[in-house]
Structure 1
Amino acid sequence: MRSLIKQIGVDTRYLLIGFPVAIVGFCLLLVGFAAGVGTAVVWIGLPILSGTLLIARGVADIERHWLPDVLGRPLARPRYTRPPETAGALRRIVNPITSGQSWLDLVFGIVVFPFAIVGFVVTVAWWALAIAGLTYPIYGWILHNIPDNDGLAHLLNLPDIYIVDAGLNFAIGVVAAVTLPFALRLVALLRGGLGRVLLTGVAELQERIDDLAQGRAAAVSAEASALRRLERDIHDGPQQRLVHLAMELSRAQRQMTKDPGAAQTTLSDAILATRETLDELRALSRGIAPPILSDRGLAPALAALAGRCTIPVEIDVQTSERYPAALENAIYFVVAESLTNVAKHSRATLCTVTLVRTGDVLLLTIGDDGVGGAHVAKGHGLAGLADRLRAVDGDFAVESPPGGPTLIVAEVPCG
């Protein structure tokens, strides 16, 4: 009820105050545009037209200030073309003319006028009907009982049919009061929708382009970081082991004729080193492209990760669908990296991993009862996960106060 009353107030203010603003804007913009275009051939029209577009920008900014409350969502302000730092006076004067959004502001300031009229009329009419109808029994009774006022009473049909008249007017007031929120919402959304399309549509498109560019850059950065880490791990691990293995085999070959017992010991050590190298290579290959993920999907792959973790992990995967490879890889690597960090740093006794689909979103939650202190700052194990998820339009959040527990939440659109 409170939110409904608040919305009625927001819509009423928007439609009533927006009407005089629309009138002033319409008159100034129409006259300015006509004068600017008409005198453009003698150059004086350029500053007039530029000034008109600046007025249109002011009117548009007023509308943008109201729109979030009316539409119930934040809206981005578009970026206007700015003149170069070295631009001269003429270039700065005509700069608004070079901005496409300035022309959209002008179109809005002119086109919104009929919408403002309709909104104002509907608002005044519905409020008047509701207030006059609901209060008619009071002021109608007062008028009916005014002594020596037969002319006014006859004019208002009060003498003999007052009760019927009062009931009819009260019913009209009740209907108007009940439909008031819907009528105001309809006309407010009509005008607000026009403002959203013309005044923020370009900004929303630009935001989407920027998000895609950031996601692409994040994906490139995440892959580059993964490749650098893989190269470092191979260099520091299997490569060194293979070099050592080659040296041991060469020594065993030399010992074979002189000291067969020592050669046998050297070969045993080499076999053990070979097994260790194979185990390390398998671990690295799981970080590149786990076959179980591509063959069987997320549930078995995450279960395999949980089985290899050094602390108990409870897995609850409530979806058996297959998703695009990029999305499944992102989820897999978030879980893999998170479990690695839990095992290394958390001192936890239990970790839980839950994956569920809610509508068109995959929701992944990873929690542990460890000491906390995890965050996504540079240099920490979780640093690249936000970038990896951003590449698939996902969100990543970590809540890990000192002392624990830790909760990692990832949301990835999958529709």
Structure 2
Amino acid sequence: MTAPAPRSPGYADADEDRERLPPVRFAFEGHTWKEIAHLMLNLPMSLFGFVYVVTTGLVSGVLTLTVIGIPLLAATLLGARQLGKLERARARALLGVRVEEPTPLQWTRRGAGSGRLWMTLKDPVGWRTLLYDFIRLPWGVLTFCVTLVSLFVLWPVLPFVARGLSNVDRAMVRGLLSPSDELERRIAELESDRGVVVDTAAADLRRIERDLHDGAQARLVNLAMGLGLAKEKLLEDPDAAATMVEEAHGEVKLALQELRDLARGIHPAVLTDRGLDAALSSVASRCTVPVQVTADLPSRPAPAIEGIAYFTVSELLQNISKHSGARTASVEVWRADDRLLIQVRDDGRGGASLDGGSGMRGLADRLGAVDGLFVVDSPAGGPTTVTAELPWRDRP
């Protein structure tokens, strides 16, 4: 048997080394390349942001003494919000940083132009984004240069360099571009709610002024004129004067009734004296549709909550009388934990909505201003169920 031909030592070592080497694979993992890409993009992004902040800041600052300076600053802050949105998207895609988007600005109806301008100028998101873009230029230059040098000189330690630099980026994004948790959201909601409350109060004052001017005031003017004529005829024609006084007496009764209705619309005495159950029964008795009222309240809530509940039910019953075509309706009021719940039902034609022009949107805004809820379920053909929820606050 012939022995195998001996192999030279050099070939034997080469074969053994080939068997011991690991398989060829990509040098870095995917997340490392994403971090490198983010660091390389830091320079153009930070340069763009810095130029935006300096240019718009200087221009709006110089023009502050004119009428366009403040609106330009507000526009700068709105633009900064968009830059922040772009930076958060880049951090999510390349660094894996999950940062929630901040709450959009909640515009109020009060002082449409000036109100929006003032809210934009107070926007903390826009100001923090401007600060982020202003301080990023030196860091963008540093990270770009270090990463570029590491690609060609410090290749073995590049993953560690990229991770360290990108961790600083992550901290900056979380610190300056993330919303201020629930506090910022709550501030935006309260700003919006304050505008709703002011709008509602102004509308109520205008309604009271209109009712006084067109109703009781006009009737009292006619009453004064009638009594003046009766006084002149008292000696000449006592019978005619007596007729005029009788008519004036009727006018007085009507004027008193209108004043009572107006006072009831502001805050009914029965609500103050006897509470929500009696007040709702009183308003239900004036509805053109038979209404069953059920109130299960262990105690009386705070006067403000009690008043909002009363006027909510009152307006809903007025809608039922005017628009629903219902034959029966019901009102239920009860307490569940720290909430006051109201449910008004009718068997009418349905089709009610928050955009239907029947005052539903105003009710929803009024309840929302006190952390309440307002839900309308009214399919075409009925029935309609409106559920309102208010925070329970004990009477002082």
2:220 counterpart SS class: helix
Letter in 1 for 2:302: P
Unpaired runs of at least 5, structure 2: 1-28, 51-83, 106-128, 140-162
Counterpart of 1:355 (choices 321, 333, 338) is 333
Give the equivalent residue in structure 2 for 1:254: 232
Distance (whole Å) between structure 2 residues aligned to residue 302 and residue 63 of structure 1: 60
1:97 aligns with 2:133: yes
Q: For the structure 1 residues 347 and 358, does the alpha-carbon distance in structure 2 shift closer, same or farther, using more than 3 Å as the test?
A: same
The number of aligned residues is 282
Q: For the structure 1 residues 48 and 308, does the alpha-carbon distance in structure 2 shift closer, same or farther, using more than 3 Å as the test?
A: closer
Letter in 2 for 1:97: D
Give the equivalent residue in structure 1 for 2:266: 288
Give the equivalent residue in structure 1 for 2:92: 61
Q: For the structure 1 residues 348 and 26, does the alpha-carbon distance in structure 2 shift closer, same or farther, using more than 3 Å as the test?
A: same
Q: TM-score, normalised by structure 2?
A: 0.58
How many angstroms does 1:201 deviate by? 4.7
1:215 aligns with 2:215: no
RMSD of the alignment, in Å? 4.4
Q: TM-score, normalised by structure 1?
A: 0.56
How many angstroms does 1:274 deviate by? 0.8
Distance (whole Å) between structure 2 residues aligned to residue 241 and residue 318 of structure 1: 42
Give the equivalent residue in structure 2 for 1:403: 381
How many angstroms does 1:111 deviate by? 9.3
Q: Is the 8 A contact 1:376 1:382 kept in 2?
A: yes
Q: Is the 8 A contact 1:351 1:369 kept in 2?
A: yes
Q: For the structure 1 residues 21 and 385, does the alpha-carbon distance in structure 2 shift closer, same or farther, using more than 3 Å as the test?
A: farther
Q: For the structure 1 residues 201 and 361, does the alpha-carbon distance in structure 2 shift closer, same or farther, using more than 3 Å as the test?
A: farther
2:332 counterpart SS class: strand
What does residue range 385-396 of structure 1 map to in structure 2 within 5 Å? 385-396=363-374
Letter in 1 for 2:328: L
Q: For the structure 1 residues 94 and 251, does the alpha-carbon distance in structure 2 shift closer, same or farther, using more than 3 Å as the test?
A: closer
Q: For the structure 1 residues 63 and 392, does the alpha-carbon distance in structure 2 shift closer, same or farther, using more than 3 Å as the test?
A: farther
Q: For the structure 1 residues 98 and 320, does the alpha-carbon distance in structure 2 shift closer, same or farther, using more than 3 Å as the test?
A: farther
1:376 counterpart SS class: coil
Distance (whole Å) between structure 1 residues aligned to residue 353 and residue 259 of structure 2: 29
Query: Which has the larger helix fraction?
Result: 1
How many angstroms does 1:391 deviate by? 1.6
Q: For the structure 1 residues 48 and 294, does the alpha-carbon distance in structure 2 shift closer, same or farther, using more than 3 Å as the test?
A: same
Give the equivalent residue in structure 1 for 2:215: 237
Q: Is the 8 A contact 2:37 2:94 kept in 1?
A: no
Residue identity (%): 39
Distance (whole Å) between structure 2 residues aligned to residue 273 and residue 338 of structure 1: 31
Counterpart of 2:299 (choices 315, 321, 330) is 321
1:371 aligns with 2:349: yes
Q: Is the 8 A contact 1:47 1:94 kept in 2?
A: no
Give the equivalent residue in structure 2 for 1:228: 206
1:276 aligns with 2:244: no
How many angstroms does 1:335 deviate by? 0.8
Distance (whole Å) between structure 2 residues aligned to residue 292 and residue 311 of structure 1: 21
